[in-house]
Amino acid sequence: MGVLRGAFGRRRSQPVLPQDPVVAELVDALAPDRVRMDSAERALFAHDASVFTGGVSGPVCFVTSAAEVQAVMRIAIRHDRAIVPRGAGTGLAGGAIPLGAPIVVSTIKMNRVLEVDTVDRVAWVEPGVVNLDLTRYLRPLGYHFAPDPSSQQACTIGGNVANNSGGPHCLAYGVTSNHVVAIDVVLPSGELVTLGGVDAEPDGYDLRGAFVGGEGTLGIATRIGVRITPNPPVVRTMLVSFDSAEVAASMVGDVIAAGIVPAAMEMMDREITRAVENFVHAGYPLDAGAVLLVEVDGQDEGTRLDMERITEIAHADGARSCRLAADEEERALLWKGRKGAFGAVAQIAPAYYLHDTVVPRAALADVLRAVYEIGARHDLPVVNVFHAGDGNLHPLLLFDPREPGIMERVHEAGKDIVEVSLAAGGTLSGEHGIGVEKRDYMSMMFSDVDLEHQNRLRRAFDPACRANPGKVLPASHSCADIQALRQVPTGVWA
């Protein structure tokens, strides 16, 4: 099958009048209706989906091409301004929050599927393409985009690349970096380069691998070549219930130890399971201490045998029940519950802080127990819904933002969860990124030498520390101090 082309819709906005030389140049480079300086729009772009505040946005630029990104970058260079790339703003680590009133470069209008090559199994897309829209576009061709974050109905491919996002099916298929072959990038110098390539072994260093997960600190992606995955012939999904989350966690390791790598293994504890069931009515057991959603895919006979073995392991580990989805409708309903879990939390509390660490599977039960203890110690309800197969924890600390002093307790509990996870041999983040959330925790995991080498890599891409400053690396190893000197005078943008 040859090459297909397509596009998604675009939205319109109102023009803005130039207010200073920088804004005037941006308007000339783009168009009056794609440079925003009104307070409402800037306030919107000062936040992302995280609980972190303190962002101040400068002009918001809606770019539509690599040439326009280059133009904005060159204006930023001439006026010594920082830039912050931004997709849908669904990030949970504060990575898209603008610090110091930089120019915000929104790629949300760069939302076209440019080309689908079913011979090389590569799709070329712009960074503003929504994750789930790409899979919907590919489905009639017999393919999908494997990384599937829970926010896939809203998050963009560019944001997935920035944070090296995962999702429920990364257990078998890997995270975003495993599915990106090449990226066109506007460097902080304004130069347009291609990192990686369709060839199995592109020449030179793997700069594509360095860029994925760079959280916008190395440049701005303008075109992305992603691997497309054939749709499996058979998919089987089973819901397993247990008396406790700790017992359920034990089954996860036993399944992997038996030589079976499911497509997905997702866990929800009692309180979140009840909230999900009230929301989707999928038949989740309301009296279970925890549930596991286990999925296998492949050929018919192989998936049947895998499910039989997984069922045996579940019963041996004390499962209360094992329920195999009877058809695609029931399977979709079970997944609707899992994908909608974070929204269902509104039934329990008005707000939550969604954490993200990774621990070894063997440590899952112990760390889960510690997470509940941390919540109790800080007087914060905790529910857990996470990618159990690869140990990617997502505790939700529930709170009411109107309560005085609550955010201090929330962040202290978050720090305790980081410390417990690292002590168990885990890592700071599985898929949300570092951003500002865990920037100051990097020294818990990396030595000064490690951090200095990371800073050297960053400066190789961005010597002036212009791209998304103040993110990822702590102040002693980053551009945070340089950004402070680049603050826009009060009354101009701030």
pLDDT digits (tens, 9 = 90+) for 389-412: 999 999 999 999 999 999 999 999
At residue 75, what are phi and psi to the nearest 5 degrees? -65, -40
Residue 286: its pLDDT value, please?
A: 95
| Total residues belonging to the chain | 494
DSSP-derived 3-state class of residue 245: helix
pLDDT tens digits, residue range 97-138? Answer: 999 999 999 999 999 999 999 999 999 999 999 999 999 999
User: Rounded CA gap, 288 and 268, in Å?
Assistant: 10
pLDDT digits (tens, 9 = 90+) for 285-302: 999 999 999 999 999 999
CA distance 167 to 456: 30
Which tokens go with 451?
A: 């951090």
- Strand 103-106 and strand 60-62: pairing? parallel
CA-based nearest residue to 150, from 284, 344, 440, 316 = 344
Pick the closest to residue 319 from 341, 346, 288, 363 (CA basis).
288
CA–CA distances in Å: residue 424 to residues 266, 313, 361, 362, 421: 21, 25, 10, 9, 5
Question: Of 125, 116, 140, 120, nearest to 176 (Cα)?
Answer: 125
Cβ atoms 234, 298 nearer than 8 A: yes
**Residue 478's Cα: distance from chain center in Å?**
22
Distance CA 300, CA 350 (A): 44
pLDDT in tens, 303-330: 999 999 999 999 999 999 999 999 999 9
What does the DSSP 8-state code read for residue 115? E
Element housing 290 (H / E): strand 290-298
Residue-wise pLDDT for 229-264, tens only, equals 999 999 999 999 999 999 999 999 999 999 999 999
- Do 180 and 227 meet the contact criterion of CB atoms below 8 Å apart? yes
